[in-house]
Amino acid sequence: MLDKFVVIDLETTGNTAKKGDKIIQFAAVVIENGKITEQFSSLINPQKPIPVFIEELTGINDEMVKDAPLFIEISEKIQSLLEGAYFVAHNVLFDLSFLQEELLQSGAAGFYGSVLDTVEMARILYPTADSYKLSDLAEKENLAHDRPHQADSDALVTAELFLILLNRLSLLPTHTIRQLTQLSGGLKSDLQLLLEEMDTFEDSATLNSVELLNDIALKKRPVEQETEIINKAVFKYPDSEEEKEKILRKGYTSFKKRIGQFKMMDTVHCSLQESKHSLIEAGTGVGKSIGYLLPLAYFSKQNNVPIIVSTHTIQLQEQLLNKEIPMLRKIIPFDLKVVLLKGRNQYLNLEKFHQTLMEENDNYDTTLTKMQILVWLTETETGDRDELNLSSGGQLYWNKIKEEPTVLFENKGFQDRDFYLSAKRNAQSADIIITNHSLLLSDIKGEGTILPASDYVVIDEGHHLEKAASRYFGFTLDYLSTRLLLGQFGTYEQKQLFYELEQLTKSLLASGTKVTQTFEMNQLVLELHYEMDEFFKLMALYAKTRAANKKGSNRIKVRFNSKDSSRERKALVHSAERMSFLLKDLLTAIDSRLNRLKAYKDSFSIPELNKVEEISGFTVELEEFRNILISCFIKDSKEVKWIEMDTRSPQNVTTFLAQPASVAEHLKKKFFETKKAVILTSATLSVNGSFEYIMGELGLEANSTIQVSIPSPFVYKDQVQLLIPKDLPEVNSVSLDEYVIAITEHIITIAEATKGRLLILFTAHDMLKKTYELIKESGFLNEYVLIAQGISSGSRSRLTRNFQRYEKAILLGTSSFWEGVDIPGEDLSCLVIVRLPFSPPDDPLNEAKCQLIVQQGRNAFSDYSLPEAILRFKQGFGRLIRTETDRGVMIVFDRRIVTTQYGKSFLESIPKVPIKKGKMTELASFIQKWL
């Protein structure tokens, strides 16, 4: 086996060697026989200036390379290092292209040996990693990475990571290695050579941890422990404070008694015992999760009933499973079975995956995803797609192998290890089932889910239930998803499902059976594609004409009014009608073929049966799409309808939405009246001490609902200072540009006073973007890392992680940053709220809700707009103090908080904290002293 590997990293003046960019630092780490045997690095004089952004990134400047050797002077050394070795790098094509160019220009022979890419290897061997950036993988494996973006440091870390990856590879089952080898010819690197040369032997640990089923190595299932019969007295809920304290002390090394947590436990227990719904607002630091989980565990065991816990976010589900449930198991004196349940197509269908392994002609993403899944199957117990980090191409492939209702085919070969059936079985015998709001709502919608019947439900993050229900009971149509759906079927020439269907029905067509001919069907598909494009163009045109008077923003929302008799609306409805007829014709043509195929199902091979299943699944989605089209454009349904788009790229980012203006009646009848006890909890449910607003939104009755507000144990008056600058204009009295100029000056002053560690919350992306650009342009905060939602790439959690990584960082966020962001300690010292978080009055759903309230003879501002904004404000306030030792400053730029009558309501809804008003310069020196 080739056992010499040279790990290379380069720093360069830019991204493209062919355009004259040059290497400024070269580093190599030699690995022989599994050990690092040599390291070499050198700065290189590129004979051209180093751009400023490269200097900022690498710390290498013109002065440092002035006396460094030219590349030609070290080219011989580089060639001798690489001789007879694998060339290894993190994103190998980048480093190889640069090195090749420089070697050839210096008159040396290029490198034409084997290459390995640690990004590619990591994607395969860490299928569940959050990120494949070198710094993130180093952190995952606890590798010291002191100087990112310096070649010597990066090369050493890449070499250490590579050794770990080789070790992971050697521990895989022989069977998995063989399958990876067969697939690896489609990769960008020469991993196939490495796999072919590997000595495959299985140690006892590997053999004990996996089992082989139909050629696929799967992680062995844990052996079910027999549950011992326990005296029911053990399940008696601990009524007194002393009993609770005694139980909780078992789980915490430094236990701190929290009266609020005990109160929450008793409220949950009382709600379950008395079969009453309850609203429990629990401030930060109460210990909410254990506050409801402990009484649930006792009640479930005592009464032998399952209880459902529903959350809004995946993060909270993971926190419950990985942190709170293990803690709960430590402190209670009995076994507790807890399972996580998700929607059906979140689970892998092993039979479909097994079949696609046989298929060839894969593109790169599909090949890589197959390899990821083969490795993942040796690790996963659940088969849950959320565990995987898939590329967008990988996500397309997942749609072929996910679990779906079947028509002809039973998963016989893998029935014993069917992930979906296993999840269902586990749920039937579980004490607590953790799920998400949308799966819970699909039960209410009457779609029948995998959730077992339960009379008792806890809804954590309960302030999200109303909005989640509005979305769930509504519809969405967007251009990209529609194009993707129709693209699955394709034209005959594109060799997608249509082509497959024709291959299966060739004999039927030849027999003279009366069915739509292939060329007619192909014409139908072409017309449908054309009409779909027209439909979304007309939708964008309708939105643009309606928004012609809206200045400033590229992102627009426009209400679609059924009473509108404009030319644009009529054209759009006619297009929807034409598309609906075309869809009906296509569905009829496909169904006539499918019905005939089903008659011959016994003569089909398994891959053919799978193909018929896939086509059947496609027709279900197509029928659903047609029904949405009819409901939104042809029938006059009651939902609020609107169009969202970006005027810079109208067609590709145009979305049509329809949602009910109120879900209260629906939730009341279909959910609250069918359950014995529903417990809603969150840190933000009340407005000025009253639950009236949330009860109205959800359809809860005051007389049958327990209402409890438990304050945070934090001493906010000592931990927070609330500051209101006097020298800012009223937000609505000046133009957007003038307001942005004024707040940007203040942000610069604040950042200098706090030395960064600053979170700025906006209510609109437009204002965020303008502020970000102006701060950048000013040059005053060049030494600070500016991270902005929608501008800096990455998810909310990635942006938050980056913010915590840098000492001098400023994070600008909109909607999703107002809640669910947890930045404890000194990483966040200052929170700025740019304007009070009222929803825009012209937001279609907001407008419809207000109209409905006015029709009922109530006041839209005081009954809806104000309480909704107060709840968001409370969520924003909650970002600042996450632990009892945190200290921070909150600054509200919006002067309406002190100049209007309703401003008091915002201040009265948060804990009492000292308030200071003054000019920004005075407030800045106060901030400096106080922090």
Kindly report, residue by residue over 115-155, the tens digit of the pLDDT: 999 999 999 999 999 889 898 899 899 898 778 778 899 99
The confidence score (pLDDT) of residue 237 equals 92
Handedness of CA 725, 726, 732, 738 (dihedral sign): negative
Q: State the DSSP code for 865.
A: I
3-state SS, residue 42: strand
Count how many residues are written for the chain: 931
Q: Is residue 321 classed exposed, middle or buried when 0-12, 13-18 and 19+ CB atoms within 10 A define those classes?
A: middle
Question: Which pLDDT tens digit goes with each residue over 204-217?
Answer: 666 778 898 888 99
The Cα 829–Cα 882 span in angstroms is: 11
β-strand pairing of 655-659 with 475-478: antiparallel
CA distances for 334 relative to 33, 231, 250, 294, 697, angstroms: 51, 10, 14, 12, 39
The confidence score (pLDDT) of residue 269 equals 97
Q: Which of 481, 445, 476 is nearest to 632 (CA)?
A: 476
Q: Is the pLDDT of residue 445 over 80?
A: no
The confidence score (pLDDT) of residue 515 equals 65
The confidence score (pLDDT) of residue 509 equals 54
End-to-end CA distance of the chain: 60
pLDDT band at 1 (very low <50, low <70, confident <90, very high): very low
CA angle 235, 240, 243 (to 5 degrees): 60
The amino acid occupying position 688 is N
Is the distance from CB of 154 to CB of 148 less than 8 angstroms? yes
The confidence score (pLDDT) of residue 224 equals 65
Tokens of 298: 């006792």
Q: Which residues contact 822 (CB under 8 A, 6 or more apart)?
A: 800, 882
The Cα 846–Cα 413 span in angstroms is: 52
Question: Which pLDDT tens digit goes with each residue over 513-542?
Answer: 566 788 999 999 999 999 999 999 999 999
The Cα 453–Cα 450 span in angstroms is: 9
Report the pLDDT averaged over residues 435-462: 85
The Cα 1–Cα 194 span in angstroms is: 8
Report the pLDDT averaged over residues 93-110: 88
Q: Is the pLDDT of residue 235 over 80?
A: yes
Q: Is the pLDDT of residue 511 over 70?
A: no
The confidence score (pLDDT) of residue 59 equals 86
Report the pLDDT averaged over residues 457-464: 94
Question: Which pLDDT tens digit goes with each residue over 477-495?
Answer: 999 899 989 999 999 999 8
- Beta-strand runs (E) in 241-348: 277-282, 307-311, 338-340
Report the pLDDT averaged over residues 570-593: 95
The Cα 505–Cα 510 span in angstroms is: 9
Report the pLDDT averaged over residues 196-200: 75
Q: How many CA atoms lie within 13 A of 27 on its CB side?
A: 20
Q: Is residue 39 classed exposed, middle or buried when 0-12, 13-18 and 19+ CB atoms within 10 A define those classes?
A: middle
Tokens of 842: 């012209």
Q: Per DSSP, what are the bridge partners of residue 130?
A: none
The Cα 44–Cα 58 span in angstroms is: 14
The Cα 501–Cα 512 span in angstroms is: 17
The confidence score (pLDDT) of residue 578 equals 97
Q: How many CA atoms lie within 13 A of 487 on its CB side?
A: 9
Q: Is the pLDDT of residue 829 over 70?
A: yes
Mean pLDDT of the chain: 89
Report the pLDDT averaged over residues 547-552: 68
The Cα 256–Cα 246 span in angstroms is: 12
Tokens of 787: 């991270």
Tokens of 294: 């402990």
This prediction has a pTM of: 0.84
The confidence score (pLDDT) of residue 570 equals 94
The amino acid occupying position 241 is E
The Cα 918–Cα 909 span in angstroms is: 23
pLDDT band at 782 (very low <50, low <70, confident <90, very high): confident
The Cα 419–Cα 98 span in angstroms is: 46
Write b or e for each residue in 506-541: b if 16 or more Cβ atoms lie within 10 A of its Cβ, otherwise e: eebeeeeeebbebeebbebbeebbebbebbbbbbbe
Q: Which residues contact 426 (CB under 8 A, 6 or more apart)?
A: 337, 339
Calculate Rg over the CA atoms of the chain.
Answer: 31
What is the chain's percent helix, strand, coil content, to nearest 5?
A: 50, 15, 35
Q: Is the pLDDT of residue 2 over 60?
A: no
The confidence score (pLDDT) of residue 412 equals 64
Q: Per DSSP, what are the bridge partners of residue 41?
A: 27
Lowest mean pLDDT among 405-414, 552-561, 591-600, 669-678: 405-414
Question: In this predicted model, which residue has the larger pLDDT, 229 or 285?
Answer: 285
Q: How far is CA 185 from the centre of its chain?
A: 32
Q: Which residues contact 749 (CB under 8 A, 6 or more apart)?
A: 920, 921, 924
Is the distance from CB of 863 to CB of 575 less than 8 angstroms? no
Question: In this predicted model, which residue has the larger pLDDT, 9 or 412?
Answer: 9
3-state SS, residue 722: strand
Lowest mean pLDDT among 230-239, 459-468, 827-836: 230-239
**Sheet of 655-659, strands arranged across:** 475-478, 655-659, 640-646, 555-559
Report the pLDDT averaged over residues 455-476: 93
Tokens of 853: 């309230």
CA distances for 387 relative to 383, 384, 556, 694, angstroms: 8, 6, 35, 34
How many Cβ atoms from other residues are within 10 Å of residue 489's Cβ? 23
pLDDT band at 182 (very low <50, low <70, confident <90, very high): very high
